[in-house]
Amino acid sequence: MTLLYHWPALAITACIVSASCQGACPDFSFRSSTVLGIGANPRAVAAADFNRDRVTDLAVPNFDDGTVSILLGRGDGSFVPGLSLFAGAGAKAIATADFNSDSHPDLAVAVSELAEIAIFLGMGNGLFGPAIRVDGGDHPFDLTAADLNHDGADDLVVAENGCPGCRIDGSVLVILGRGDGQFLPTVSYGRRGFPTGVRVADFNGDKHADVLVADAFRVRLLAGNGDGTLKDGVVFDPIPEPLALAVADFDNDGFLDFAAASPSTQEIAIWLGRSGGLFIDHDRLPTRLSALPISMEAEDFNGDHLPDLAAANIGNDTVSVWPGLGNGRFGPMIEIQTGGEPGALLCADIDGDGRPDLVCCDQNPGDLTIFLNTCPDSRPRLTINRFRGETLVSWRDAGGSLTLEVAGSPTTGVWLPSTTAGHFRNGNRFSAVKPGFYRLALHPRGR
């Protein structure tokens, strides 16, 4: 797989080659680690390090009793109960971000019955301050955090579901953060349909955050202007009654794609992104009869550097996982049995081994099931950061050596520490100091 990183005056193409693309796990492999009794009807889950111990913790909103369960990770896939927060009846969706710029993760919880967003500011020790209430429109259904106006402060985007039973359309809400834990007044965009899922990313390549929303009839792209405002974009009809979305580059062409799940048709539609925020209908992934997929995540589970797809099926108490083939297609589905009525799915590294695990909310009987990823991990991992004007590339060696190739060069040259355009330092870090195009490749020893 080739990953292209763009920085000012510098573009780096990182190409990772390992033993069978080379050390990839040919099949998915998960182990059920923990089933935790949480609360009444858990509907979502978020992951962050709430107590600064470098271990993944979890926050779970419980719909019926309005609480948010904080679970502090031990680093081995297990958890200890932490503080229980009160958000309000109908706590339905959750996002984590740093809303007050203190470097501690905070929480935003959509409280549908109160039409509010409850903000809990983290203290960095696993504890949180009292709820700050923000207008959440009419039945907030889903939400995510992102910086919409380039001010460095995290904002909120909310899928306001409206009232489907009384035929009152919902909308997309934007709540701009001030960076001090406070927010500007809620702004509504496009009362249309009944929004149920929302994702934020730069879909049209203008370096502004855009909003992709599923509204129970169609999928809409609201293009960001870069100042926190949105404008109507293209409307897509990927599948009848789309409920949940997942976003990734499924065909490895540099454009983001999306998957839309429909419980009514028991399938998932794959739409491939093109230049300018356009998408084309590409494929359908069928689930089993009565599966009812309602939540999705896209992640590389088997170590082949291609995004895979996972869906929680509330109808038959399973999680379906499809291996991505890198061309917009997917391999045969596998199923994992859950505890009961999985309502939400999350990918996170729960046990600290560098592999994405699955966390599943079981609405009935109110459990959280952890599926630890047990694929062998032989992947070299590249980390590319911008620091004091330099682009630093570091990696964890998985039995390989670092080779640097100039893109477009007729020959492949190995760059040594003595080269003028770049140098190695600290044993495993390359610092590129000359603008240009470079290709990083990790090759197994002896090849």
Looking up tokens 């081995």 gives: 76
Under DSSP, the state recorded for 226 is S
User: Distance of CA 440 to CAs 249, 382, 402, 434, Å?
Assistant: 20, 9, 7, 15
pLDDT digits (tens, 9 = 90+) for 186-206: 999 977 788 999 999 999 999
pLDDT band at 387 (very low <50, low <70, confident <90, very high): very low
Nearest residue to 38 (alpha-carbon basis) of 372, 370, 361: 361
pLDDT digits (tens, 9 = 90+) for 2-42: 333 332 222 333 333 322 333 467 678 899 877 787 888 89
Separation of alpha carbons 386 and 7, rounded Å: 8
> Residue 52 pLDDT more than 90?
yes
Q: What percent of the chain has pLDDT over 90?
A: 61
Nearest residue to 111 (alpha-carbon basis) of 132, 84, 141, 131: 141
Strands in 219-224's sheet, in edge-to-edge order, are: 197-201, 210-214, 219-224, 230-236
Higher pLDDT, 163 or 202: 202
| Confidence (pTM) | 0.80
Q: Kindly report the average pLDDT of the chain as a whole number.
A: 80
Backbone angles phi, psi at 342, to 5 degrees: -65, 120
Q: What pLDDT is recorded for position 37?
A: 79
Mean pLDDT of 100-115: 95
CB of 145 closer than 8 Å to CB of 88: no
Count, residues in the chain: 447
Mean pLDDT of 412-416: 33
Mean pLDDT of 49-55: 93
DSSP string, 320-369: EEE-B-SSS-B---EEEE-SS-EEEEEEE-SSSSSS-EEEEEETTTTEEE
Higher pLDDT, 409 or 294: 294
Q: What pLDDT is recorded for position 295?
A: 95
pLDDT band at 383 (very low <50, low <70, confident <90, very high): very low
Q: Alpha helices of 220-364 — where are they, by DSSP H?
A: none
Separation of alpha carbons 40 and 197, rounded Å: 22
Separation of alpha carbons 253 and 282, rounded Å: 14
CB of 298 closer than 8 Å to CB of 259: yes
Higher pLDDT, 291 or 427: 291
Most confident of the ranges 116-130, 230-244, 328-342: 116-130
For the chain, state the CA radius of gyration: 22
Looking up tokens 């995510």 gives: 144
Looking up tokens 């998408």 gives: 279
φ/ψ region of 52 (left if φ > 0, alpha if ψ in -120 to 50, else beta) reads left
Q: What pLDDT is recorded for position 26?
A: 66
Q: What pLDDT is recorded for position 193?
A: 82
> Residue 57 pLDDT more than 60?
yes
> Residue 122 pLDDT more than 60?
yes
- For residue 276, the SS3 value is helix
Separation of alpha carbons 178 and 152, rounded Å: 9
- For residue 265, the SS3 value is coil
Mean pLDDT of 163-185: 87
> Residue 225 pLDDT more than 90?
yes
pLDDT band at 389 (very low <50, low <70, confident <90, very high): very low
> Residue 272 pLDDT more than 90?
yes
Mean pLDDT of 362-382: 76
Q: What percent of the chain has pLDDT over 70?
A: 78
Q: What pLDDT is recorded for position 377?
A: 56
The distance from CA 63 to its chain's CA centroid, rounded to whole angstroms, is 22
pLDDT digits (tens, 9 = 90+) for 295-306: 999 999 998 889
Six-digit token string for 334:
């596998």
pLDDT band at 360 (very low <50, low <70, confident <90, very high): very high
- For residue 277, the SS3 value is helix
Separation of alpha carbons 41 and 18, rounded Å: 43
Q: What pLDDT is recorded for position 89?
A: 92
Six-digit token string for 86:
């009160």
- For residue 77, the SS3 value is coil
CB of 251 closer than 8 Å to CB of 326: yes
CB of 252 closer than 8 Å to CB of 258: no
Q: What pLDDT is recorded for position 390?
A: 41
